Amino acid sequence: MTLFLQQVINGLAIGSTYAIFAMGFGLVFATMNILNVAHGTYATWGAIVGLWAFETFGLPFVPALVVGVLGAGAIGVAVDQLGFEPLRRRGAGLLGPIITSIGFWIILGQLAQIVTDSRIQTFPRDVLPRGFIRTWGLIIPYKQVVTIVVAIVLLVGLYWFVERTRMGAKMRAVGSDADSASLSGVNTRWVVIQTAFIAAGTASIAGILNAISTNNVSFTLGEGLLLKGFAAVIVGGFGDLRGAALGGYLIGLSEVLGAQYVSNAFRDFITFGLLLLILVVRPQGLLGNRIVTLRA
Amino acid sequence: MEALWDDYGSTIEFAMAFSLFALSTYVALRAGVLSLAAVPFAAVTGFVSLVLIEDHGVAVELVLVIGVGLGALSALLVGLPLLRLESHWIALATIAFVLMARVVVLNIEDVTGGSQGKPVTRTIETWEVLFVLVLAAWIMARHRRSRLGLAAEAVRNHPDVAASLGVHVVGIRRRMLMVSGAIAGLAGVVFANLVQFLSPDTFYVNVAFVMLAAVVLGGAFHWSGAIAGAFVFTLLPELLRNYLTEGERIVNGILLILVMIFMPRGLIDPSRRLRRRIKTDARAHDKADTTEDAEFWDLNLTGATIESVSKGVGDGVALEVRNVTKAYGGLLAVKDLTFQVAEGSTFGVIGPNGAGKSTLLSLIDGSVLPDEGQVVLFGEDVSGLTPHEIASRQVSRTYQTVQLFEDLTVLENIMVGFHRHRVTGFWDPVLMTKRDRREHAELEGQARELMDRVGVIGRPDQYAATLSYANQRRVEIARALAASPRLLLMDEPTAGMHKLGTQAVGELILELRDQGLTVVVIEHNLELVINYCERAVVMDFGELLCEGLPTDCLAQPNVIEAYFGRKADAQRIESLLELRKHPGG
């Protein structure tokens, strides 16, 4: 039982980074209808910039995190305005933006490889308080506590922002019908820029937390997050932030519990098998409500 | 030349292998399936070829043949659960397959060498790679406008319309995915032979994303686009390597972004020149409806109306709607509707916007399922059948907003309508059989006749989207007729037409009726219903207000008041009825 609980906490910790990542990824899909393959590189760049701020200026963790968020957010806005905005004006469908995002994925990935010199770096071990909480026979490292708490704060905050604030209402309006929103006086471009910033910013937080928990800052960091984020959003449901978060935690749990109780070697197989099962049985996702099957 | 081959020979070989990946992706995309599955299909055949060549010494030529079958089989299996999903969900699901393939490769170490990978001995010759590529390209070129090719185009443009013409949407997608799998199977064998080393990362997401991007970069509307894209993607970074030490692939990323902005249909677009002309002709175009048609179109109007022609020939019941109800959420679109349409008659459905007329049509053609009640066609209960099954009962339809296949020409649009009657199979166009040529020539002739018959003004080889609105409507009617229906459903066929055009449609309806067709017309245009329909129903808020002779229905005070409301409309109807009593006055 203790082992099970320990693994559940491990699963929640790793799932937290997936959930944070998936919410931004899902938000972009819901409001802008973009399946952004480059989203993972925002996480990579967030970690690279954060680590750079940490090492070069000796900033403490939180300011370094903020620098990482600002850096990734700026990249996200630049990508959107350079690449996606022209397509949006033309009213391109789904495929065009995917291809553009593959373009940015190549560029940002290659640049990250050049900047890091293809080497794996790490945040110092004391970037977060070291040590453990011992309770009920469980050992929970502080860094897991921080990850889980940051995730909860971000998820609740983002959900509150989108569902309860004026700005969030504008975002949802742009998501459901950009033209009508624009006609009713919403500055859609500004909303889109903010959404792009929030999405890239949250991706970078996921990236930094993931980098710390796996001791890995490299140009491939975002790749894993992207694939898990994909899976999370599909499992939870597109267009619903709670769904994306739920999906993230489920993917994290299935990964850790699958490795513990089924087979370590096949843990990704279980994750992506779950994904495939959901796609076949309930393609709109657990909390989604889009109709996605054909009547033919 | 030789020196050039020394420098770039292997790059060109790889470009050919990537072309196969791209062609595979292109084939699926043609049927509207956004698939990244070429990579896992290739993974299967790649590793099978590793085993066959290394452990059993099988000749690579034989392995290629096995690869084709294995690729197609994998595609068939993968397609079973996925093909009923919408296109971008299919894309996501195929990504899941890419990811799972890698885990499998990692975990069957005996076969694949696990994370270490295993070497493959190269036994394939350059000319063999070229031969395989030419063969794949030849098949795609020959299927550009074949029965399968046209159906695939139709499915990609408008799946629901394709189904209404009797095209089995999922069936076409399955076929194209199997062709995609077969080509990917070849790609796997060729690629394994060229890289000479397979690891779990050989066939992974990177390749999948890059190949999709290459196809769209090159142009997803022509088979040569896929090959062009693959060559650009492989050669360009290699050329840059002469000047850069790292990051040479960035150029591909930049190129992708620029092409998406400035050439969204890719580098190779067969319709580019035509589309450019549309832009310059745009203004002349707007006039076409009012002047060109009336001036240059010999309408051959006879002045026939429903009263001046003989009664229809059929005596059975073509269509029976029994207690049909359909609700969207809380809104009742159609409420307990019951009526019959006699075989060989013309029948009007009238009602204000939102009366549920178009929903009724979708309930009949099977694209919407009723909550309650039955639809009976020629004595057979067809409730619950899919649209293409209903189409195979010889039912065709036109749409309220024109739904032409925009990537096809006028003639090709009409030829999609022949889909169910064609006998040529997959190999006929590839082997250029006599049967294929004969069928093509015959159907082209018939399509031209249909164009004349409905009075399309325009060239057969013109892209359908370049026609005026009224002419697009006419093409749609011709396409519906190409499917040789017994029951023709028309949703506002005269919207956007001038008076003479409307009359021509009315007379066409009568002509079709005299040949035994049953025609159901939804119309706002009361003149059309009064002059050309034997019976009619009036709907409002999903309910039946009246069924009977159009003139009787429209004379009913409750119909006029409850539903046309305003006095002006009532007067207009009265004057129309007056006209009917004194034709020509």
Q: What is the pLDDT along chain A (296 residues), one digit of tens a residue?
A: 788 888 888 899 999 999 999 999 988 888 888 889 999 999 999 999 999 988 888 888 889 899 999 999 999 999 999 999 999 888 877 889 999 999 999 999 999 999 888 888 888 877 777 777 777 777 878 888 889 999 999 999 999 998 888 888 888 888 877 888 888 888 888 999 999 999 999 999 999 999 988 888 888 888 889 988 888 888 887 767 888 899 999 999 988 888 888 777 777 778 878 887 887 787 777 777 655 455 54
Q: Higher model confidence: residue B513 or residue A30?
A: B513
β-strand partners of B319 = B341, B377
DSSP SS3 for B346:
strand
Report the pLDDT value the prediction gives residue A293, as an integer from 0 to 100: 54
- Mean pLDDT, residues B382-396 taken together: 92
Residue B288 has pLDDT above 50, yes or no: no
The pLDDT confidence band at residue B568, using thresholds 50, 70 and 90, is low
- Judged by a CB distance cut-off of 8 A, whether residue A115 touches chain B is no
A98 and B212: CB-CB below 8 Å? yes
- Between the two ends of chain A, the Cα-to-Cα distance in Å is 49
**CA A280 and chain centroid, separation:** 24
Residues 259-278 of A with CB under 8 A from B: 265-266, 268-269, 272-273, 275-276
Task: Say if CB B382 and CB B431 are below 8 A apart.
Answer: no
Residue B102 has pLDDT above 70, yes or no: yes
Q: Please give the Cα distance from B322 to B61 (Å, whole number).
A: 61
The pLDDT confidence band at residue B310, using thresholds 50, 70 and 90, is low
- Match 């109807």 to its residue by tokens: B573
Shortest Cα distance from B371 to chain A (angstroms)? 15
Token readout for B42 is 């290739």
State percent of chain B over pLDDT 70.
Answer: 90
Closest by CA to B479, choosing from B458, B502, B453, B505, is B453
- Match 């959900």 to its residue by tokens: A159
Token readout for A260 is 């513990």
For chain B, helix, strand, coil in percent to 5 are 60, 10, 30
Q: Would you say the C-alpha torsion B192, B197, B198, B204 has a positive or negative sign? A: negative
Q: How far is CA A64 from CA A211, B22, B154, in A?
A: 13, 43, 54
- Mean pLDDT, residues B1-26 taken together: 90
Report the pLDDT value the prediction gives residue B162, as an integer from 0 to 100: 95
Token readout for B289 is 């409806």
Helix (H) and strand (E) counts in chain B:
25, 12
- Mean pLDDT, residues B458-465 taken together: 86
Report the pLDDT value the prediction gives residue A296, as an integer from 0 to 100: 45
pLDDT (tens digit, 9 = 90+) per residue, B203-250?
988 899 999 999 999 999 999 999 999 999 999 998 888 888 888 889
Report the pLDDT value the prediction gives residue B295, as an integer from 0 to 100: 42
- Match 């429903």 to its residue by tokens: B306
Report the pLDDT value the prediction gives residue B555, as an integer from 0 to 100: 82
DSSP per position, A143-180? HHHHHHHHHHHHHHHHHHHHHHSHHHHHHHHHHH-HHH
- Match 């309650």 to its residue by tokens: B372
Report the pLDDT value the prediction gives residue B197, as an integer from 0 to 100: 92
Q: Amino acid identity of A82?
A: L
DSSP designation for B381: E
The pLDDT confidence band at residue B567, using thresholds 50, 70 and 90, is low
pLDDT (tens digit, 9 = 90+) per residue, B337-375?
999 999 989 999 988 777 888 899 999 999 899 999 999
What's the whole-model pTM score? 0.89
- Match 């499998």 to its residue by tokens: B104
Token readout for B50 is 């590793």
Q: Would you say the C-alpha torsion B268, B274, B280, B286 has a positive or negative sign? A: negative
Shortest Cα distance from A85 to chain B (angstroms)? 9
| A86 chain-B contacts, CB cut-off 8 A | 261
Work out the mean pLDDT of chain B and round it to a whole number: 87
Chain B residue with CA closest to A90: the answer is: B261
In this structure, what are the phi and psi dihedrals at residue B273, rounded to the nearest 5 degrees? -60, -40
Residues 40-99 of A with CB under 8 A from B: 82-83, 86-87, 90, 92, 94-96, 98-99
| A292 chain-B contacts, CB cut-off 8 A | 85-86, 89
- Judged by a CB distance cut-off of 8 A, whether residue A239 touches chain B is no
Report the pLDDT value the prediction gives residue B562, as an integer from 0 to 100: 56
- CA torsion angle A138 A144 A149 A151 (round to 10): -130
B256 and A293: CB-CB below 8 Å? no
Residue B26 has pLDDT above 80, yes or no: yes
The pLDDT confidence band at residue B330, using thresholds 50, 70 and 90, is confident
A268 and B104: CB-CB below 8 Å? no
- Judged by a CB distance cut-off of 8 A, whether residue A289 touches chain B is no
A99 and B252: CB-CB below 8 Å? no
How many angstroms separate the most distant Cα atoms in chain B? 92
ipTM: 0.90
In this structure, what are the phi and psi dihedrals at residue B459, rounded to the nearest 5 degrees? -85, 145
